Amino acid sequence: MATTSYKVTGMSCEHCANAVTSELRTLDGVSAVAVDLVPDGLSLVTVTSAQPLAQDAVSAALDQAGDYRLGA
């Protein structure tokens, strides 16, 4: 089991959090997603999965959800 937190930009509301959660849950092995929403800042998205996720897979899921990007 792996738990990884990502800083994500572009999230401003609960709809954003739901969109990101839905897309990340489609990734293979993901069992849970938790979002600490910081409107118009760096939100913290914590993903629990069977194995560590490839960063490009996470980036692609964020892109699919909307205009969300991994932050620094």
Q: Tell how far CA 32 is from the center of its chain.
A: 10
- Indicate which CATH number applies to the domain containing 54: 3.30.70.100
Domain of residue 30, residue span: 2-70
pTM score, whole prediction: 0.94
> Which helix (H) or strand (E) is 29 found in, with range?
none
Q: Would you state the pLDDT for residue 49?
A: 98
User: In whole angstroms, what is the distance from residue 17 CA to residue 13 CA?
Assistant: 7
Number of domains in the chain: 1
The pLDDT tens digits for 29-51 are 999 999 999 998 999 999 999 99
Q: E-strand spans in 1-72?
A: 2-9, 30-36, 43-49, 69-70
